[in-house]
A and B are shown apart, each in its own frame.
Chain A
Amino acid sequence: MKVLVIDDEDDIRQISRLALARVGGMDVVDTGASVEAVEMAVRERPDAILLDVMMPGRDGPATLAALRADPRTAAIPIVFLTAKVMPAEILRLKELGAAGVLTKPFDPMTLAASLRAVLSARP
């Protein structure tokens, strides 16, 4: 399973990479520039995208819209990773068409399992 991680925070990207690859045994590619998201997804063909919500420039929801707009990446399931934990916020993100929402701070030992669970719950 290959996951594309998009987050502007280098530290968090590094931890996510370790948590998903070393603990979860997944292939991980990542980028801090959300504007490269579509290009990277077309090139890497990931099975899922873990997408940060609050990013400078193009934020999570805008990135999701860009990925959905391109037929080559429209079908890739997207899971948001957000530091905003208000229920209304989470509901809003789900309504944008995300496969699921995971919250920060996360436990690196269970991140991969949570991601799998969210993905398996979708059709």
Chain B
Amino acid sequence: MKARRARTLRAALRSAAPFAALGAAVVVLLAWLVPASVATMRPHRPDFALGLAFVFLMYVILVFRVTLEQERGAEALRRLQASEARHRQLFERSVAGVYQSTLDGHLLDCNDAFLRIFGFATREEAIAHSTTSLWADHRARAALVDRLLEEGSAAAVEMPLLRKDGSPVWALASLSLIPSGDGTGSHMQGTLLDIGERKTAEEALRSSESGMRALLENMLGGLIVSDPAGIIQSANPAAQGIFGYSNEELFGRHLSTLVPSGAEGDGAAALRATFEASLGRVTEWEGRRKDGSRFPFELSLFQFDGPRGRRIAGNLVDVTHRREVERLKAEFVSTVSHELRTPLTSIRGSLGLLGGGVLGPLTADAREIVAVAERNVVRLIGLINDILDLERLEGGRLEIRLEAVDAAAIVARAIESVRGVAEAAGLSLVSDAPAATVRGDADRLVQVLVNLIGNAIKFSPRGSAVTVRTVPCGTALEFQVEDRGRGVPETQREAIFERYRQVEAGDARAKGGAGLGLAICKSIVEQHGGSIGVRPAEGGGSAFWFRIPEGKAPRLSGTGHATRPRGVVLLVDDDEELLSVLTLRLGAERFAVRTATTAEGGIASVRELTPDLIVLDLGLPQGDGSLVVRALERDSALRRIPLLVYTGRDLDDIDRRALVLGPTAYLTKARESEGEFMEAVRSLVEKGQTAGGDS
């Protein structure tokens, strides 16, 4: 301010200087001319000079004042021009659209940004296009003008406008009234920003949010969201219904309110640890309702990062009803099982006694008819068993015990149980199954094989062969049952594994069976973690196959399929670890191994398998191992089986004399080496087989 004043002063002095010099010259001239012309007026000369000086001073001041005023005006004009240039620049270069218009909407002026926003090429074009046609909603414009007239300005108004081409554009505007140029009324002036992108994103977010909210509000499953400390943030209506609390009641409470198992002691921390372990999996929990009642629910937990930090969300389903249905179904299956079997027992029994001639001799015709009836009763029983099996399999109530089992023994058992049927059908059974260990339930795998071989027999022409073989297939073993029947059309290769499906509708009557067998096979194989299928056999017919993961014992490679087990060894011991070690060791030497952990199980296995050697521990959980010897020595068919008593006890001679079957040896655990054990096994199996061959 001071500087500007000084500058103006200097400029005024500069401008006034020539006038001052001119004034000074006139005064000097006067002072020189006057004394000469009026010498007589001498006494008055000082007064005259004084007046002259006064006039001169006045003149100088006058000149200076005028010059100063002029300078001030010029400075103001310069400042105004600079300011206007700045404002014009601001106006032109602004990213915001700036415009002025009359109150009834005629555009007076606008900047380039305004042109860009609305898609005009030139200012003239924009002005020609009335502002009113830029409004999507004229009532909104009228309301805005009313507000402007009342309040003078409006800031940050979101306005839906239209571009030149009619497309919508969302603008954020600040508007104000300005006096019109002629001073008779008002114009309006506005600044606009195109917020279309932001608006689109907002719209998308809002619609996705409202979609999500609708989803959460209406989903059947409960959803509860908590913070990482387990403090409940929200619960959807389903979750509120499940637990009997309102959202307001749940907000801010700890999850242990709903899941009591974590409530005792260090509840929160324990619950958090359990929750963390459950992330990403479906787990089952016991919940507590508001009324204190407990119920089972399934929970799927996940976490996400929300605007207020990490959140844990649980999607939950009350399974009370499902559990009840499962229980009723199991009960129903059990009851039906009993109710159907009771009359069938009487029918089967009566026919058996008649056919067996127990009640007197029958004529040939009568025997044949009784045999027909008996065969069909047995078939009916089989069907009922199939249906119950399938129900149990699918309800997860059929226990499958996975252990290392010998594939060769499974094939042998399956073939043995269908040999009679095959012979009656005039078929030969061929097997090619080297010793190999798979992880499975021996009884269930035999069931699958019997089913597949049974089917093969049904559909094979008389005189042909059904071949059963096992082939290594990656980390699994593939069991194959090949027939020379009519084959399975490609379109049906998957369908036949569904329930009640057969290749031809008439098969159920012609060949028997309800079409459940393959569905059962599939279910059993899948519970083993395996797969099942059918493909055309080379040379006609079909090859049904299923793959079961291999067990722990290494399969001998390079020995070829022709390798037969050297013998079947039954291990009776309750030490599971020892069993798996011995199974492995014996498997490596091509012995087929079966195991039993109780005396009773051992006896049953001996009757079923007639093994080449029994390796017997004495200290068993239910009954002493000597019970096995007691049971077998009474059976003429079994008392010659070689026996290796392998126990931790020290046996004296009296003990040993009481523990003898066929060739018998005694080894003490942890005293004899593995080599001695294997030597004893080899020698006993050999002795038994030689003796068997002699007799």
Interface members, chain B 557-609 (any A CB < 8 Å): 600, 603-604, 607
Q: Are B356 and A105 in contact (CB under 8 A)?
A: no
Interface members, chain A 1-21 (any B CB < 8 Å): 9, 11-12, 15-16, 18-19
Query: Is A84 located at the chain interface by the 8 A CB criterion?
Result: yes
Residue on A with the closest CB to B380?
A105
Query: Is A39 located at the chain interface by the 8 A CB criterion?
Result: no
Q: How many residues of B contact A (CB 8 A)?
A: 34
Most chain B beta-carbon neighbours within 10 Å: one of A19, A85, A104, A109: A104
Q: Are A19 and B349 in contact (CB under 8 A)?
A: yes
Q: Are A83 and B358 in contact (CB under 8 A)?
A: no
Q: Are B348 and A105 in contact (CB under 8 A)?
A: yes
Query: Is A94 located at the chain interface by the 8 A CB criterion?
Result: yes
**Which of A12, A54, A88 has a CB less than 8 Å from the CB of B349?**
A12
- Given known contacts A83-B337, A85-B385, A87-B399, is B356 in contact with A12 (CB within 8 Å)? no
Over the window 80-108 of chain B, the binary record of Cβ atoms lying under 8 Å from chain A Cβ atoms (1 yes, 0 no) is 00000000000000000000000000000
Query: Is B630 located at the chain interface by the 8 A CB criterion?
Result: yes
Q: How far is the CA of A1 from the CA of B221 in the complex (A)?
A: 64
- Given known contacts A107-B348, A107-B352, A120-B635, is B600 in contact with A22 (CB within 8 Å)? no
Residue on A with the closest CB to B626?
A123
Query: Is B419 located at the chain interface by the 8 A CB criterion?
Result: no
Residues of B within 8 A of A23 (CB): 353, 356, 358
Q: Are B345 and A83 in contact (CB under 8 A)?
A: yes
Q: Are B341 and A104 in contact (CB under 8 A)?
A: yes
Residue on A with the closest CB to B623?
A123
**Which of B344, B358, B603, B631 has a CB less than 8 Å from the CB of A105?**
B344
Cβ distance B586 to chain A, nearest Cβ, rounded Å = 25
Cβ distance A105 to chain B, nearest Cβ, rounded Å = 4
Query: Is B509 located at the chain interface by the 8 A CB criterion?
Result: no
Residue on B with the closest CB to A108?
B352
Q: How far is the CA of A9 from the CA of B341 in the complex (A)?
A: 12
Interface members, chain A 37-67 (any B CB < 8 Å): 54
- Given known contacts A108-B358, A121-B600, is B607 in contact with A12 (CB within 8 Å)? no
Most chain A beta-carbon neighbours within 10 Å: one of B346, B399, B630: B346
Residues of A within 8 A of B349 (CB): 11-12, 15-16, 19, 105-106, 108
Q: How far is the CA of A108 from the CA of B359 in the complex (A)?
A: 12
Residue on A with the closest CB to B354?
A108
Cβ distance B571 to chain A, nearest Cβ, rounded Å = 18
Cβ distance A122 to chain B, nearest Cβ, rounded Å = 7
Query: Is A75 located at the chain interface by the 8 A CB criterion?
Result: no
Residues of B within 8 A of A12 (CB): 342, 345-346, 349
Cβ distance A32 to chain B, nearest Cβ, rounded Å = 13
Q: How far is the CA of A86 from the CA of B397 in the complex (A)?
A: 9
Q: How many residues of A contact B (CB 8 A)?
A: 28
Q: How far is the CA of A62 from the CA of B603 in the complex (A)?
A: 28
Q: How far is the CA of A111 from the CA of B604 in the complex (A)?
A: 17
Residues of B within 8 A of A122 (CB): 627, 631
Over the window 86-118 of chain A, the binary record of Cβ atoms lying under 8 Å from chain B Cβ atoms (1 yes, 0 no) is 111000001000000000111111000000010
Q: Are B634 and A120 in contact (CB under 8 A)?
A: yes
Over the window 223-256 of chain B, the binary record of Cβ atoms lying under 8 Å from chain A Cβ atoms (1 yes, 0 no) is 0000000000000000000000000000000000
Q: How far is the CA of A77 from the CA of B420 in the complex (A)?
A: 34
Over the window 389-422 of chain B, the binary record of Cβ atoms lying under 8 Å from chain A Cβ atoms (1 yes, 0 no) is 0001000011100000000000000000000000
Q: How far is the CA of A121 from the CA of B397 in the complex (A)?
A: 29
Residue on B with the closest CB to A22?
B358
Q: Are B345 and A19 in contact (CB under 8 A)?
A: no
- Given known contacts A86-B392, A121-B631, is B334 in contact with A15 (CB within 8 Å)? no
Over the window 353-377 of chain B, the binary record of Cβ atoms lying under 8 Å from chain A Cβ atoms (1 yes, 0 no) is 1001011000000000000000001
- Given known contacts A12-B346, A108-B353, is B603 in contact with A121 (CB within 8 Å)? yes
Interface members, chain B 52-82 (any A CB < 8 Å): none
Interface members, chain B 600-649 (any A CB < 8 Å): 600, 603-604, 607, 623, 627, 630-631, 634-635
Q: Are B353 and A105 in contact (CB under 8 A)?
A: no
Residue on B with the closest CB to A91?
B399
Residue on A with the closest CB to B381?
A105
Most chain A beta-carbon neighbours within 10 Å: one of B338, B352, B385, B630: B352
**Which of B338, B377, B392 has a CB less than 8 Å from the CB of A83?**
B338
Query: Is B218 located at the chain interface by the 8 A CB criterion?
Result: no
Residues of A within 8 A of B350 (CB): 11, 15
Residues of B within 8 A of A87 (CB): 399
**Which of B346, B399, B607, B630 has a CB less than 8 Å from the CB of A15?**
B346
Q: Are B630 and A9 in contact (CB under 8 A)?
A: no
Q: How far is the CA of A105 from the CA of B340 in the complex (A)?
A: 10
- Given known contacts A84-B338, A86-B397, is B356 in contact with A108 (CB within 8 Å)? yes
Q: Are B346 and A54 in contact (CB under 8 A)?
A: no
Cβ distance B632 to chain A, nearest Cβ, rounded Å = 9
Residues of A within 8 A of B358 (CB): 18-19, 22-23, 108-109
Cβ distance B608 to chain A, nearest Cβ, rounded Å = 11
Q: Are A9 and B348 in contact (CB under 8 A)?
A: no
Cβ distance A66 to chain B, nearest Cβ, rounded Å = 22
Residues of B within 8 A of A16 (CB): 349
Cβ distance A121 to chain B, nearest Cβ, rounded Å = 4
Q: Are B630 and A123 in contact (CB under 8 A)?
A: yes
Q: How far is the CA of A29 from the CA of B392 in the complex (A)?
A: 37
Cβ distance A12 to chain B, nearest Cβ, rounded Å = 5
**Interface CB pairs A-B, < 8 A, 15:** A9-B346, A15-B345, A19-B349, A23-B356, A54-B338, A84-B337, A85-B388, A88-B399, A104-B341, A104-B345, A106-B349, A107-B352, A109-B352, A121-B603, A123-B630
Which of B's residues lie within 8 Å of A, judged by CB?
A: 334, 337-338, 341-342, 344-346, 348-350, 352-353, 356, 358-359, 377, 381, 385, 388, 392, 397-399, 600, 603-604, 607, 623, 627, 630-631, 634-635
Per CB-CB distance, the 7 closest pairs between chain A and chain B, nearest first, are: A15-B349, A83-B341, A11-B346, A105-B345, A108-B352, A104-B345, A105-B348
Instruction: Supply 5 further A-B pairs (C-beta < 8 A) apart from A15-B349, A85-B385, A86-B334.
Output: A83-B342, A87-B399, A104-B341, A108-B353, A122-B627
